[in-house]
Amino acid sequence: MPLFGIDCMRSKHTEQERYLKANDREFNLKFNYVNNQIKTSKYNVFTFLPINLFEQFQRIANAYFLFLLMLQLIPQISSLSWYTTVVPLMLVLIITAVKDAIDDFHRYKSDNQVNNREVMILINGKLRREKWMHVQVGDIIKMENNHFVTADLLLLSSSEPYGLVYIETAELDGETNLKVKQALTVTSDMGENTQDLAEFDGEVKCEAPNNRLDKFRGTLTYKENKYSLDNEKIILRGCTLRNTEWCFGLVIFAGQDTKLMQNSGLSTLKRTNIDRLMNVLVLWIFGFLVMMCTVLAVGNSIWESYKGYYFQVYLPWIHDPPNSSFSGFLMFWSYVIILNTVVPISLYVSIEVIRLGSSFYIDWDTKMYYPKKNTPASARTTTLTEELGQIQYIFSDKTGTLTQNIMIFNKCTINGKMYGHVHDFSGQRTDITARTEKVDFSLNSMADPKFVFYDHSLLEAVKIGDPKVHEFFRLLSLCHTVMPEEKQKGLLVYQAQSPDEGALVTAARNFGFVFRSRTPETITVVEMGETKTYELLSILDFDNVRKRMSVIVRHPDKKLYLYCKGADTIVFERLNSSSQHLRDITTSHLDEFAGDGLRTLALAYKELNEVYFENWQKRYQEASTALENRDEQLSELYEEIEMDLKLLGATAVEDKLQDGVPQTIQTLSKAKIKIWVLTGDKQETAVNIGYACNMLHEDMRKIFIIEGNNSEEVRVELRKASATMKEQDETEDEVINIKQPKKQVILPEEHVDGEYGLVINGDTLAHALEDLEVEFLKTACLCKTVICCRVTPLQKAQVVELVKKYKKAITLAIGDGANDVSMIKAAHIGVGISGEEGAQAVLSSDFSFAQFRYLQRLLLVHGRWSYFRMCRFLRYFFYKNFAFTFVHFWYGFFCGFSAQTVYDEWFITLYNLVYTSLPVLAMSLFDQDVNDRWSMVYPELYEPGPLNLYFNKLAFVECIIHGVYSSLVLFFIPYGALFEAVRDDGKTVSDYQSFALIAQTCLLVAVTLQIALDTTYWTAINHFFIWGSLAVYFAITFTMYSNGMYLMFPTSFPFIGTARNALNQPHVWLTIFLTAALCVLPVVIIRYLKVELKPTFSNKLQYRINQTKMLPPKQTISHLRRPSARRSAYAFAHQRGFGALITSGKNMRTRTINFKPSKTNTSSSIDKQKT
């Protein structure tokens, strides 16, 4: 268990290579490998107190108050009791500790939930159900369908032929398409024979634990034979087993050593920008305090030397003559205690209360509640709310965050006719709404009930037997690599390598062309209720160069056909000249689809001549067995047979975005927030989403694709991009200027004319982050949009850390999967989307909600208000305490520098605790310059936050100046007014007690008027707290200064009768009024001049609202259509398709085929060759 941050389970030496034996726990325990228990919480019962106190005393103010407490324990210098500091300090420490304990307890519960999941472990030849945390390296475990993978496993055997398994890696890389892993033949033959598995004693040597998700190197030694191990034989923790009944695996890495946990990053203590600034300001204040105390101490030494002899009645000498230097030394520490109210500990109590209130507002916000999943927004931490108002960079995942992980067959064009739009009776297009009538597929018993389409004319065309429409859907039902599974009779489920492909096959299914089953040699389709079996002769599979796939099939009528689908630019180059007219029409349709942000795919076919195909087969056999230039020869043959195609039409699939994503991104961009997309998805898919979200658009001057195989190539690409944006030549001077700095620097903001985009993949990014981080960051920050694709979870965190390191900016990371955890932890603010990929991201986040669109409300409303209120609070709090404390400083010159307090001790105790605490809390919890709807309509209101305009070092200096001025007024006007003054009856009121009462009354009235000026949004609570606190002051004052209190506690309440004697004089009230007016008058004048001469955007908006009584417009989610000529090709799988696997027959199970194909002796020689 980790103790003080040290993981005691891990071996002390750095692991260079892993060596383990299957089924031999005793041998593996010698290496001290960690077990499968994970720990994301920071504390345990023993470490909570020391670690939490250590973290809390990293806050300079807490250490400062601890130092003051020690001073107050020294009677020679303390004029205040020790409990006046220890009680509030303990209160702050306890409140913060309880809050931290609750946060960490939630993490602990989450860890327990995962660690206590159950799995079958093979122990002594028998399968036992054990908890995940008891799994150890070298164990053989059994996984079942739809279960999460327990640890990083070497696949041994499975229920599928040839030891295949299908896995979904959404939690690792965000991809929802299925991937295939295959066991070694020597282990797959063991099947589920527990006896054979128990006797398996293979030895594995492999790489040490690391965070590389796509690489694995190792060897298996079994029965004196060595077998090479690579990533294709490893199943990683975080994956989900799909379409596979069971599999057995050997645990290679467990717990914290798994690649998922290696990519998760460490939980760090997050402090806000305000906290960091406060640490600096406390140091300033401490320096200022030392300076004031030094002046007063020197004054005391001088006074004792020259004047002390004459005032021994009031300040008796302990030694005669006294040591004036020692007296000054003691007075220095006495004034440190008296003047410590410059930063009272109540400041930090109030800050925690304000943050807690802001977090409750987020939890209670019904406009961030998602009713479909009954998911409210949640502030999982209460210490970062004002940071939400200062975000400059947002790092977003794509899959599940911007998109819904849902692909929808939206529109299509067949033989020059477009389908998918809805028309009214006059033939005009109408928008699709919730009331629009859906196409009824109830007559098709095998239709997918979830499929929705609105254009009834397409179904009519199918019913009347339009040959082109039938051929269109026949192509969709044949040209794919989808695997069908009939879990229950009549319940057909498709397992697709890509969600796009699944959407197209499902569309064909609902329109009457149901893909039912396949073998290596056949495809069975139910066409309009009639079962037809097509002979599959060849699959010309997809790859990133071809950007298309084709199948060659023999129809039941013995005719040969080639069906092809792919990127429209690729397919159009291979069309027959007779398709030119149809191509022009289809192109216009594709342009319209692209304008709607849809992903398009062109479909074509041709009938093949039997003699030609036999000749082509022979040449294909020769090319397949060629020892040299095999790939080039095969590519030429593919090109040859895929020429002279006839165009059928095109499909348009919507990679469905979450509601309001484009509008949210557009709104946040207006707030000058930069959004970077960091995704594990492939480049084309990521760019498509960039266009769909309006992050990329045709009006951009250029979109740079950064690609390079080494650091030098990447450097050249980055410099070219930077030179292009800056419109200058790449000179040697420029090269010198952008070399890596020897020490950390903050890169300044640079601006260029026009908008640019930058796209970079994971391999290239690795070079950029290793050797060229500053150059990469400079280039990226010149662009409006940055998209990093094919990145690992750790690379996501590295990009965030890079921006944090070199840009003085607050960052926010948002994601929904386990692959986003490290990024969420690395950013200043982590936001989790409670989506389809589990709760790992939410559990690691600071804030969570169900939809990306709620991010704009979180930032523009809650974030802006929290920052606005916190800054108002700090400015006022520092002002009122400077005004309060500096009066002591001036009084020191009139009391022999004797550390005598100006005010009554009870007033000093209650000033921050009772008299001024509630009004400032009311302002800090309820104040707003404009309401939430205006904040959403005008995102420009957010800009002061990232620029840190509301509270900074300059604002702090202004608070000091304001406080010093007020303290001068508060001391000298009452002093002058009472100097030799008398009452109406001739009695004096120029005594110390009367002066103390009038000075403190002037102070309280002045700070009350100041907070009334600072409050812009008045509620009943504000009125009650502000004027009520003033009333409470007078009530307490008259009570404490009464005869009764003096008689009961004569030493505690010495100001007997002072209130009634002083406050019944008119000139005293005139003094109070004059003092308070002079304190607030400069503020009123300065604010008036600022609004008139240099108004902010908020000032202008408030003026317009007040003058015109405008109401904010209601917000609606409208569809943003982007004009674009860019067309997006169909996103096939991220790696080479399943074509070779299908034709080899390795992934076929005879028992799952629910039909009997006709016997045939015909078998393609191509398939034999592939087998």
Give the type of residue at 111: D
User: Which DSSP string corresponds to 746-764?
Assistant: PPPP---SS-EEEEEEHHH
Euclidean distance between CA atoms 846 and 843, whole angstroms: 8
Active-site residue identified among 100, 103, 152, 397: 397
Euclidean distance between CA atoms 22 and 25, whole angstroms: 8
- R_g of the chain computed on alpha carbons: 38
Identify the CA nearest to 265 among candidates 6, 108, 40: 40
Secondary element (H or E) of residue 928 = none
Q: What is the DSSP letter of 913?
A: I
Instruction: With both helix axes pointing from N to C terminus, report the angle between 992-1014 and 953-978 in degrees, rounded to the nearest 10.
Output: 140
Q: Are 145 and 242 in contact (CB under 8 A)?
A: yes
Q: Are 510 and 542 in contact (CB under 8 A)?
A: no
Q: Are 563 and 554 in contact (CB under 8 A)?
A: no
Q: Name the token pair of 493.
A: 């489920």
Q: List the strands of the sheet with 203-207, edge to edge.
A: 17-21, 203-207, 218-222, 225-229
User: Which DSSP string corresponds to 1077-1139?
Assistant: HHHHHHHHHHHHHHHHHS--HHHHHHHHHHHH---PPPP--PPPPPP----BPP---SSS-SH
Give the type of residue at 204: V
**397 tagged catalytic:** yes
Euclidean distance between CA atoms 125 and 194, whole angstroms: 6
Cα distance between the two ends of the chain: 51
The SS3 assignment for 986 reads coil
Q: Name the token pair of 88.
A: 């509030």
Q: What is the DSSP letter of 466?
A: -
Euclidean distance between CA atoms 861 and 388, whole angstroms: 9
Euclidean distance between CA atoms 1044 and 803, whole angstroms: 66
- SS3 letters across 29-45: HCCCCCCCCCCCCCCCC
Dihedral of CA 698/586/661/1130: which sign? negative
Q: Name the token pair of 751.
A: 């601006």
Q: Name the token pair of 634.
A: 């095969």
Euclidean distance between CA atoms 33 and 35, whole angstroms: 6
Q: Checking DSSP bridges between strand 218-222 and strand 391-396, what pairing results, if any?
A: unpaired
Q: Are 851 and 370 in contact (CB under 8 A)?
A: yes
Expressed in percent and rounded to 5, the helix, strand and coil fractions of the chain are 45, 20, 35
Identify the CA nearest to 21 among candidates 201, 187, 197: 201
Count H helices and E strands in the chain, helices first.
41, 35
Cβ-count burial of 368 within 10 angstroms (0-12 exposed, 13-18 middle, 19+ buried)?
buried
Number of Cβ within 10 Å of residue 725's Cβ equals 22
Identify the CA nearest to 982 among candidates 1074, 1058, 1065: 1065
Beta-strand runs (E) in 633-734 = 646-657, 674-678, 702-706
Question: What is the Cα 853 distance to its own chain's centre?
Answer: 13
Euclidean distance between CA atoms 855 and 841, whole angstroms: 15
Catalytically active residues, by annotation: 397
